[in-house]
Amino acid sequence: MKILVCEDEEILLTSLAFRLKKQGFEIILAKDGKEALTKIKTESPDLIVADIMMPQVSGLELITFVRKKMKSQLPIIMISAMGNDDTVLEAFRLGATDFISKPFKPSELVLRIKMVFQEMELATS
């Protein structure tokens, strides 16, 4: 499974990529929302993990692009240090699949990704 990880914090991006590769996932990296949009179109990921607050294109704009422009149900897990309930609710309203607050343990993200993929398998069987 191919996962696009979009995060503007270099250290977090690198550590998530390392952890997810160790779990056997193919990883595509994007340092901002604009780069993520390009990679969504060119790399066809199976799942997106994206920060809400990113330069150029926000995580909320990313969700809108995937759901409205692409008309895709591609799973999107949002991550953010913003504990703002309104932002979290807006992410879900726009079509986010899941949300994790920073700081989080990489093992929690891995577990949530596996749960999303399990749900996808169940839906198609």
Summarised one tens digit per residue, pLDDT across range 22-41 is: 999 999 999 999 999 999 99
Task: Among 3.40.50.10320, 3.40.50.2300, 2.40.10.170, 2.60.40.10, name the CATH number for the domain at 2-124.
Answer: 3.40.50.2300
**CA angle, 94 then 99 then 105, to 5°:** 160
Give the position of tokens 């008309």.
Answer: 71
pTM above 0.85, yes or no: yes
Q: Residue 96 pLDDT > 80, yes or no?
A: yes
CA distances from 106 to 13, 19, 34, 109, 110 (A): 11, 7, 24, 5, 6
